[in-house]
A and B are shown apart, each in its own frame.
Chain A
Amino acid sequence: MTSLLLFGASEGGLFDFDATLPLMAAQVVLLTYILNALFFKPVGKVVEDREDYVLTSRTEAKKKLAEVEKLESDLKNQLKGARQAAQKVITEAEDDSDKLYKEALALANSEANASREKVRREIDSQRESALNQLKLDAEKLGDLIVQRLLAAK
C-alpha cells in the first residue's frame, strides 16, 4: 500500500492512498452513466422538446400574423374598391335619374305646349267660325231688316 505518511503517523494520515482511489473513480464513472440515463437524457429531452415547441409555435405565430396582415390589407383594398364602385354607381344613378327627370320634364313641357297650342288654335278657329257665323247672321238680319223696311213702305 503506497501511503504517503505525513504528520508522523505510522498508519493512515491525510495522504493515505489506497484502493479507495480506483474504487471511487469507478463509482463516479458508474454514477455518470446512471445520471446520464436518469437525469441528463430525460430532462434534456423535455427541455429541448419545449425549446423546439416554443420555437415552432413562435414561427407559426409569426407566419399567421403575416397572413393576417396580408388578409387585412387585401380586405382593405377590396373595401376601398367596393366603396369606389358604390360611389360610382351612386353617381351614375344620380346622373341617370337626373337625365330621366330632365327628359320627362322636357317631354311634359313640350306636350303641354303642344296641347295648349292645339287648344288655342281650336279656340281661334271656333272664334273665327263664330265670328263668321255672326257676320253671316248680321248680314242676314241686315238683309231681313232692309226687306222689312222695304216691305213696310
Chain B
Amino acid sequence: MSHLRLFISLKMGTSPFLLPFAALEVGQHLYWQFGKLRIHGQVFMTSWILIGALLTLVVVGTKKMERDPKGVQNLLEFLWDYIRDLARTQIGEKVYRDWMPFIGTLFLFIFVSNWGGALIPWKLIELPSGELGAPTADINTTVALALLVSLSYFYAGLSNKGLRYFEYYVHPTPIMLPFKIVEDFTKPLSLSFRLFGNILADELVVAVLVFLVPLVLPVPVMFLGLFTSAIQALIFATLAAYYIGEAVEEHH
C-alpha cells in the first residue's frame, strides 16, 4: 500500500524530476485565466461534453412524445418517474414538485459526470497540464453542488415556513441548538467530500491498477467503480432531497 502511495504522491503537485513513466496526474489542473479569475479548464471541458450529451438525449427523447411511449421517451419517462419517486418520498407530497427539477438535475448531472468520467477514455486526449476526467472528481464541483444544496434547503425552509423555520433548530429541545448549527456546516462538508472522495478514489484505484497490471485485473474494479458512481449520484440526490424535506417538514 505504501508503495502505491509513493507512486501517486510523486506526481501530485509538481515533482517532475521523478518517475517520468508514472501515468497519474493528481492535483494538476489545466488553468484558464480570465482577468484575475482562474478556473480549471479540464473540469469545464468534460462537464460541457457530458451536459451536451445529456441535453441531446433529452431533446431527442422529448421531440415527439406520445401517449404510447416509444424509444428514448421510455427511458426519459423512467428517469422522470424515478426522480419523482425519490423527491416525493424524501420531500413529501406538498412541495416536492417545486424541488423535483433541482433534485433531478443534481442526480442526472452527477450521474452523467461519474459515468462519463469512468466510461469515456478521456486519457487519450492529451492536455498541456492536468488530465480530463469526471467533473465530480474535482473538489470545486462537489463543493459547488453541496453549497447549492445548502442554499436550497435554507430557501425551502424560509419560503415555506418563514421565520418559523428556525424552530427546527430548537426542536424537540433547545439542547439541540448547537448540534443543529454544526449540522449546517457538516451537511455540505459531508456531501461534497463523500462525492469527491468516492469518485477520485475510484479514478485513482483504476488508474493505479491499470498502471500496475494493465490486463484483466482492473476490469472488476472498473465495474465496481461504475456501481459506486451510480450509488454516489443516488446518495447525493437523496440526501439533498432529505435535507430539503427536513427543512419544509411541519413540526407538531
Considering only CB atoms, which chain B residue lies closest to A10 in the complex?
B14
B23 to chain A, nearest CB (A): 17
Assess A32 versus B26: contact at CB under 8 Å? Given A21-B143, A24-B140, A47-B81: no
Instruction: Sample 29 A-B pairs with CB under 8 A, ordered by A number.
Output: A7-B9, A7-B26, A13-B13, A14-B27, A16-B29, A16-B40, A17-B139, A18-B37, A18-B140, A19-B37, A20-B141, A21-B144, A24-B43, A24-B140, A24-B145, A25-B144, A31-B105, A35-B105, A35-B108, A36-B101, A38-B55, A38-B59, A39-B62, A42-B62, A43-B61, A43-B73, A43-B76, A46-B66, A50-B67
Give the contact-size bracket for chain A. 35 or more
Q: Which DSSP category, helix, strand, loop or mixed, fits chain A's interface?
A: helix
Q: Does B65 sit within 8 A of A, measured CB to CB?
A: yes
Chain B residues engaging chain A, CB cutoff 8 angstroms:
9, 12-14, 26-29, 34, 37-40, 43-44, 47, 51, 54-55, 58-59, 61-62, 65-67, 69, 73, 76-77, 80-81, 83-84, 100-102, 104-106, 108-109, 130, 135, 138-141, 143-145, 147-148, 200
A7-B13 in contact (CB<8A): yes
What is the CA–CA distance of A14 and B39 in the complex, to the nearest angstrom? 14
| A1-26 interface with B by 8 A CB criterion | 1, 6-25
A12-B108 in contact (CB<8A): no
A67-107 to B contact mask, C-beta < 8 Å, 1/0: 00000000000000000000000000000000000000000
Q: Which DSSP category, helix, strand, loop or mixed, fits chain B's interface?
A: helix
A43-B38 in contact (CB<8A): no
Given known contacts A18-B38, A28-B105, A42-B62, what 9 new A-B pairs fall within 8 Å (CB)? Answer: A7-B9, A12-B29, A19-B34, A19-B37, A31-B109, A35-B104, A46-B67, A47-B81, A53-B67
Considering only CB atoms, which chain A residue lies closest to B141 in the complex?
A24
B64 to chain A, nearest CB (A): 11
